[in-house]
């Protein structure tokens, strides 16, 4: 009994599936067992046609294909090639159990690409479960960016058969593909882009908000922008994406995996994701879900990037309260009757809101039409525990005709890159906004004057334990922007200026 390896999804992670074959005496039949989806059962017809089109004669026997483990639901058309090869090699005395085989078959035996291949193989690579794999030749360009795997590209089922039989020495693993982007040297190469389709030079005035955006980007600190309509909240939020810290090669691959899961062709550009769901989105679309299998939502797709909520108070209160968990723990758990999965969700949360329902409370040129009760009801949609997870709160003023543009995205991005290099020199591998309590004690070192200022702020403002840690992390980023080893008094004071009033 022979078998090759394939894989299927369980949540967003791949699980190895052993594809076994058995030919026994009995009435001629072709069966697939092991909780196979419709797309896999349909492969019987594709496999039959592909083999018959290439002069293969089916013996009058009972064919059984078993997908192991049998209690795991399998789906995807990429099982076609592995099933066909097992039928072709039934009489061969060759061990093929170490091979992974992926590919969809056309009716004439051509091997086609499948959109699920990249995230499946990347997940297997991250789990160190895969070494040698046969894939469609048209998938090699993106798959060879995954390191430490021997990829053999084939365009026809006969080529795959020759590789397994070792009869064609012309087949060699495809050479790996490097990422052709600029990078900075730390303990590992970090890649970045220098294209700014949305530039901060378009934002007039708002120097405080742009300073907060720089701090937010450099340290991955959650940011809330509050101001009247038209003052530039959404403009700033859209532009933060292009000044975020550089990505490692593994992070670029993870971003490409999320693009593939979202139905897009991976582009492998060192640009962090930006997700902006509408306030009418359902809870399942934000956090993921499904009646039979838990699928990834906007929170999971924003991993290593930005999740932007515009018109924050208009989001369903259940969504805002459920967002507290990923904001605190950097992962999200989805539980359903048929599946329980956990997604990584380490993202930068940026939000924007008006000061009142009509939006004119802070506008000196327009009169606010809201009553005090309406304003209070509007702001009460955001609970204190939720707001306590926002690091930077900025109140923006109206833009005037005389306001100038003083900073470009390139200038801000260069400051972020220098800050990341400075942070890496002290051995820190976590963004300041994501530091845990132990790392805060290690890296957020205050001088005597700063310590005295912090103690005074704790007493005056009755800061909670979370607020104190948040203040230390923001001050650490402000100090890093100035290349300061220790947190100083002015860093603490600036961090205090961004706290919620």
Question: Burial, 462: exposed, middle or buried (Cβ in 10 Å; 0-12, 13-18, 19+)?
Answer: exposed
Inside any domain, residue 93: yes
The DSSP annotation for 397-453 comes to PPP-TT------HHHHHHHHHHHHHHHHHTT--S-GGG--HHHHHHH--B-HHHHHH
Inside any domain, residue 127: yes
pTM: 0.88
Check whether residue 439 and residue 383 sit in a common domain.
no
Q: Classify residue 487 by its DSSP letter.
A: B
Check whether residue 417 and residue 443 sit in a common domain.
no
Q: What is the pLDDT of residue 174?
A: 87
Check whether residue 379 and residue 413 sit in a common domain.
yes
Alpha-carbon dihedral of residues 373, 379, 381, 382, nearest 10 degrees? -160
Q: What is the pLDDT of residue 134?
A: 95
Of 428, 451, 485, at which residue does a domain stop? Answer: 428
**To which residue do tokens 């991955």 refer?**
220
Q: Quick one: tokens of 431?
A: 């963004």
Beta bridge partners of 3: 20
Inside any domain, residue 173: no
Give the range of the structural domain holding residue 439, as residue numbers without chain letter.
Answer: 435-501
Rg (CA), the chain: 27
Inside any domain, residue 489: yes
**To which residue do tokens 């000061």 refer?**
355
Check whether residue 53 and residue 16 sit in a common domain.
yes
Terminal-to-terminal C-alpha distance of the chain:
70
Check whether residue 211 and residue 341 sit in a common domain.
yes
Check whether residue 66 and residue 142 sit in a common domain.
yes
pLDDT tens readout for residues 360-408: 998 888 899 999 999 999 999 999 999 999 999 999 988 877 878 888 9
pLDDT tens readout for residues 75-120: 899 999 999 999 888 778 888 889 999 999 999 999 999 888 999 9
Displacement of CA 372 from its chain's centroid (Å): 41
pLDDT tens readout for residues 122-134: 999 988 899 999 9
Inside any domain, residue 183: no
Q: How many domains does the chain have?
A: 3
Coil, strand or helix at 185: strand
Check whether residue 373 and residue 441 sit in a common domain.
no
Residues 6+ apart with CB under 8 A from 165: 89, 92, 94
Q: Extract the residue ranges of the chain whose pLDDT is less than 50.
A: none
* Dihedral sign of CA atoms 400, 404, 410, 413 in order: negative
Instruction: Count how many Cα atoms sit within 13 Å of the Cα of residue 51 in the half-sphere of its side chain.
Output: 21
Check whether residue 416 and residue 452 sit in a common domain.
no
| CB distance 162 to 168 below 8 Å | yes
Element (H, E) at 394: strand 392-395
Assign residue 501 the CATH number of its domain: 1.10.8.60
Inside any domain, residue 180: no
Check whether residue 206 and residue 263 sit in a common domain.
yes
Q: What is the pLDDT of residue 294?
A: 66
Q: What is the pLDDT of residue 357?
A: 94
Inside any domain, residue 251: yes
Check whether residue 44 and residue 146 sit in a common domain.
yes
Inside any domain, residue 178: no
Q: Quick one: tokens of 216?
A: 């937010």
Check whether residue 419 and residue 460 sit in a common domain.
no
Of 399, 428, 457, at which residue does a domain stop? Answer: 428
Check whether residue 384 and residue 272 sit in a common domain.
yes
Alpha-carbon dihedral of residues 158, 162, 168, 170, nearest 10 degrees? 60
| CB distance 398 to 160 below 8 Å | no
Q: What is the pLDDT of residue 147?
A: 86
Q: What is the pLDDT of residue 185?
A: 58
Question: Burial, 225: exposed, middle or buried (Cβ in 10 Å; 0-12, 13-18, 19+)?
Answer: buried
Assign residue 14 the CATH number of its domain: 3.30.230.10
Query: For the chain, how many residues are written?
Result: 501
Assign residue 220 the CATH number of its domain: 3.40.50.300
Of 412, 428, 444, at which residue does a domain stop? Answer: 428
């Amino acid at each position: 009994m022979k078998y090759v390896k394939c894989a299927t999804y369980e949540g967003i992670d791949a699980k190895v599936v052993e594809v076994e074959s058995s030919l026994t005496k009995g009435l001629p039949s072709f069966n697939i067992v092991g909780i196979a989806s419709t797309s896999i059962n349909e492969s019987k017809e594709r496999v039959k046609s592909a083999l018959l089109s290439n002069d293969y004669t089916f013996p009058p026997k009972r064919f059984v294909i078993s997908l192991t483990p049998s209690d795991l639901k399998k789906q995807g058309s990429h099982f076609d090639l592995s099933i066909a090869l097992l039928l072709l090699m039934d009489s061969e005395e060759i061990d093929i159990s170490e091979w992974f085989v992926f590919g969809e078959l056309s009716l004439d035996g051509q091997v086609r690409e499948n959109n699920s291949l990249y995230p499946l193989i990347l997940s297997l690579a991250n789990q160190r479960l895969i070494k040698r794999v046969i894939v469609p030749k048209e998938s090699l360009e993106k798959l060879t960016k995954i390191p430490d795997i021997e990829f053999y590209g084939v365009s026809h089922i006969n080529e795959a058969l020759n590789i397994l039989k070792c009869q064609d020495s012309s087949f060699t693993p495809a050479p790996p593909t490097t990422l052709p982007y600029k990078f900075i040297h730390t303990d590992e190469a970090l890649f970045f882009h220098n294209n700014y389709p949305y530039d901060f030079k378009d934002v007039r005035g708002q120097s405080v908000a742009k300073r907060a955006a720089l701090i937010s980007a450099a340290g991955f600190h959650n940011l809330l922008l509050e101001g009247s309509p038209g003052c530039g909240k959404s403009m700033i939020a859209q532009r933060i994406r292009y000044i975020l810290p550089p990505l490692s090669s593994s992070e670029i691959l993870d971003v490409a995996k999320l693009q593939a899961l979202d139905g897009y062709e991976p582009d492998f550009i060192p640009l962090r994701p930006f997700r902006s769901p509408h306030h009418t989105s359902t809870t399942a679309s934000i956090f993921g879900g499904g009646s039979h299998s838990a699928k990834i939502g906007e929170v999971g797709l924003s991993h290593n990037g930005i999740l932007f909520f515009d018109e924050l108070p208009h989001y369903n209160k259940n969504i805002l309260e459920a967002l507290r968990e990923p904001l605190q723990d950097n992962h999200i758990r989805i539980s359903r009757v048929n599946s329980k999965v956990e997604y990584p969700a380490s993202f930068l949360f940026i939000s924007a809101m008006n000061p009142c329902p009509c939006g004119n409370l802070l506008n000196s040129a327009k009169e606010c039409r809201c009553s005090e009760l309406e304003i209070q009801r509007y702001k009460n949609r955001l609970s204190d525990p939720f707001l306590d997870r926002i690091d930077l709160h900025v109140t923006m003023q109206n833009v005037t005709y005389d306001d100038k543009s003083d900073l470009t995205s390139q200038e801000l991005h260069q400051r972020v890159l220098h800050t990341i290099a400075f942070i890496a020199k002290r051995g820190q591998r976590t963004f300041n906004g994501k530091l845990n309590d132990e790392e805060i004690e290690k890296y957020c070192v205050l001088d005597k004057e700063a310590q005295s200022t912090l103690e005074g702020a704790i007493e005056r403002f009755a800061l909670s334990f979370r607020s104190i840690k948040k203040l230390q992390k923001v001050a650490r980023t402000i100090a890093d922007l100035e290349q300061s080893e220790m947190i100083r008094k002015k860093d603490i004071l600036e961090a205090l200026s961004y706290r919620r009033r």
